[in-house]
Amino acid sequence: MGKKLYVGNLPFSVTEQALQQIFAQAGSVESVRIITDRDTGRAKGFAFVEMVSDQDAATAISTLNGKEYEGRALTVAEARPQASQGEGGSRGHQGARRSGGGSGSGGRKRW
């Protein structure tokens, strides 16, 4: 398994094929995944690119981070591991603990 890279500050019009071509200049690309909004399907402006080797990933970071693409300076960095579902809860769960009323706290009760 290769090294996964975070690619940010992407124009919303970018395609996976275009990212594949850009990153292929740095080495062998294993996969490309543009992150989209699950409700609208619209790109969120970032993606994950997996390079075949650590060396290819390092080359991609050094050559593509800050490089301009369609008027935007790309952010390319090693992706951080995804947090598991159990580590922080979900926003929906936290919202269930709120209660109305009270003054000075915007209607939120502090626990």
Beta carbons of 26 and 56 less than 8 angstroms apart: yes
Task: Confirm whether 34 is domain-assigned.
Answer: yes
Does pLDDT of 32 surpass 50? yes
- At 97 the pLDDT is 47
- At 82 the pLDDT is 82
- DSSP-derived letter for residue 50 is E
| CB-based contacts of 49, cutoff 8 Å, min separation 6 | 4, 5, 7, 19, 23, 29, 31, 32, 33, 60
Task: Confirm whether 63 is domain-assigned.
Answer: yes
Task: Confirm whether 14 is domain-assigned.
Answer: yes
CA separation for the pair 19, 10 (Å, rounded) = 10
Task: Confirm whether 93 is domain-assigned.
Answer: no
Count: domains in the chain: 1
For the stretch 95-111, pLDDT in tens is 444 445 555 555 555 55
Task: Confirm whether 98 is domain-assigned.
Answer: no
Q: How many C-beta atoms surround the C-beta of residue 43 within 10 A? A: 17
Kindly report the pTM of this predicted structure.
0.73
Give the tokens for residue 25.
Answer: 């200049």
Task: Confirm whether 86 is domain-assigned.
Answer: no
- At 107 the pLDDT is 55
For the stretch 38-87, pLDDT in tens is 999 999 999 999 999 999 999 999 999 999 999 999 999 999 988 776 55
Task: Confirm whether 20 is domain-assigned.
Answer: yes
CATH code (residue 8) = 3.30.70.330
| CB-based contacts of 103, cutoff 8 Å, min separation 6 | none
Exposure b/e, 20-35, CB count within 10 A at least 16 = b:
eebbeebbebbebebe
- At 2 the pLDDT is 78
> Where does the pLDDT of residue 33 fall: very low under 50, low under 70, confident under 90, or very high at 90 and above?
very high
Task: Confirm whether 12 is domain-assigned.
Answer: yes
Question: Structural domain of residue 31, as residue ranges?
Answer: 3-78
